[in-house]
Amino acid sequence: MRKFSLSKIRNFLFPALDRELISALDRQSMRNISNVSLAVFIFETLSILAFMTVEGWKFRDSTLISLLSVGFCALFSLVGFLISSRMKSRKDLPHGAFVSFKILFYAVYIVWAIHVDMRHYHAGDQMLTFFTVQLMMVCFVMFRPWLSILLMTCSYAGLYAAACCARGAEGIDVVNYVILAILSVVGMTIRFDTQIYLGRKEERLKSDTAVLEKHMRQDALTGLQNRLALEEDAKNTDGRKLSVYMIDINYFKEINDQFGHITGDEILKEIGPILQRLYPDAQYYRYGGDEFLVLSRKDPEKNYADTVYSFKKQTAKTLCTVTLSIGSARGNPETYDDLFSLISKADAALYTVKARTHSPEQGGHDRRRRPADSR
């Protein structure tokens, strides 16, 4: 039990994160810092302008110090906005660069807040700036839990030490002060843990979406791309040289009738590896039924040049000889319609091949003969 508890605490303080999630958290932190810095800059600038409108240029030394303090906050917020805006779009920066900037951002704001609150503390006023800044950090800046605890502890200890040096921490309720510190630590660690949960959930969603998209584009039986993939790929036609091959299994219905549909499915599964050997580095699609389509950028002489291909398939009954008829067309399709026009030419060439290979002279019969005006 003790070992289990220590393991949970260690995993909470030092969570194991993959590189993609760390990168996503870094960019999220930069977006948060960018947004809050811009908001603070606008607010502080408007405050200075409003003050100058009311008071003009005649003010006491204490007012000048306040004005300079607000001006520093506005200037640093502008710098923070510019840097974080640039960093959030950079994917080449190491994780350490993001952590270093977040620590600097946190430290400068905390030191500034302690300085402002010490002036209020000397005057007997409430110290609100420090706690406002801490709230901002809890909501918008993310550190790993161990670092959050360290930074929060140092910042609260720093404010208390400054109060002790100023007025012996007079008027500060230590119990309430410690409770606020604990709440700040808990808030920042929970914020980080929640962001990890959301990040991992988003990663799972992206992974599931990618798998779903792959299955939508893939023929379940052969593993080749399907008609939907062809429709989408056709939209990216760019006018480059293209060879189109339309392939059909000869007498596939007779094979199913004689040897059974299980054997027919096994034959269909073998077509993919065969096409990859005949037409390397190409795109392969199951066009429909026992028809397959290959799109290749290679020169025809570097691919299979014949119009017929055969292979042996061992079935439960006997050794079956399977033949393929192949029709081809070449061109430089520039549009979606150009590509499908080229596919139609390859399909017409396939019919010509099948009419020849299925002719009685070749010992066959043409099951796919169609009227002359049907094309």
Output the pTM of the full model.
Answer: 0.61
Q: Are residues 191 and 43 in the same domain?
A: yes
Provide the token pair at 225. Answer: 């791309």
Per the domain annotation, does 222 fall within a domain? no
Provide the token pair at 301. Answer: 């002489």
Question: Rounded distance, CA 31 to CA 86, Å?
Answer: 10
Question: Rounded distance, CA 167 to CA 310, Å?
Answer: 97
The residue type found at 329 is A
Per the domain annotation, does 180 fall within a domain? yes
Per the domain annotation, does 53 fall within a domain? yes
Per the domain annotation, does 281 fall within a domain? yes
**Rounded mean pLDDT of 187-198?**
86
**Rounded mean pLDDT of 265-293?**
93
Residue 159 buriedness (CB in 10 A; 0-12 / 13-18 / 19+): buried
Q: What is the largest CA-CA distance in the chain?
A: 112
What is the structure's pLDDT at 364? 59
Phi-psi region of 16 (alpha: psi -120 to 50; beta: other; left: phi over 0): beta
What is the structure's pLDDT at 365? 54
Decide which of 188, 212, 236 is a domain's last residue: 212
Q: Can you give the CATH number for the domain in which 266 is found?
A: 3.30.70.270
Q: Are residues 172 and 271 in the same domain?
A: no
Tell me which of 1-15, 87-101, 291-305 is least confident: 1-15
Phi, psi of 368 (to 5 degrees): -105, 10
Q: Are residues 265 and 163 in the same domain?
A: no
Per the domain annotation, does 89 fall within a domain? yes
Q: How many domains does one find in the chain?
A: 2
Decide which of 183, 212, 241 is a domain's last residue: 212
What is the structure's pLDDT at 8? 78
Q: Are residues 45 and 176 in the same domain?
A: yes
Question: Rounded distance, CA 276 to CA 294, Å?
Answer: 9
CB atoms within 10 A of CB 243: 21
Q: Are residues 174 and 275 in the same domain?
A: no
Q: Are residues 89 and 194 in the same domain?
A: yes
Which tens digits make up the pLDDT trace of 39-96?
Answer: 999 999 998 888 777 766 665 666 778 888 899 999 999 999 999 999 988 878 899 9
Q: Are residues 69 and 205 in the same domain?
A: yes
Alpha-carbon distance values, 321 to 249, 310, 315 (Å) = 11, 7, 10
What is the structure's pLDDT at 238? 87
Provide the token pair at 97. Answer: 């660069």
Is a pLDDT exceeding 70 seen at residue 169?
A: yes
What is the structure's pLDDT at 157? 93
β-pair partners for 243: 296, 330
The residue type found at 32 is N
Q: Are residues 208 and 246 in the same domain?
A: no
Q: Which residue has the tokens 């002719």?
A: 359
Q: Are residues 147 and 116 in the same domain?
A: yes
Q: Look at strands 242-249 and 283-288 and give their pairing.
A: unpaired
Question: Rounded distance, CA 55 to CA 257, Å?
Answer: 98
What is the structure's pLDDT at 74? 94
Decide which of 212, 247, 262 is a domain's last residue: 212
Question: Rounded distance, CA 252 to CA 235, Å?
Answer: 32
Q: Are residues 173 and 295 in the same domain?
A: no
Per the domain annotation, does 123 fall within a domain? yes
What is the structure's pLDDT at 303? 81
Per the domain annotation, does 108 fall within a domain? yes
What rounded mean pLDDT belongs to the chain?
86
Task: From 307, 310, 323, select the one nearest 255 (Cα to Cα).
Answer: 323
Q: Are residues 285 and 322 in the same domain?
A: yes
Find out whether 262 and 318 touch, Cβ atoms under 8 Å: no
Is a pLDDT exceeding 90 seen at residue 32?
A: yes
Q: Are residues 119 and 202 in the same domain?
A: yes
Give the domain range for residue 62.
2-212
Per the domain annotation, does 217 fall within a domain? no
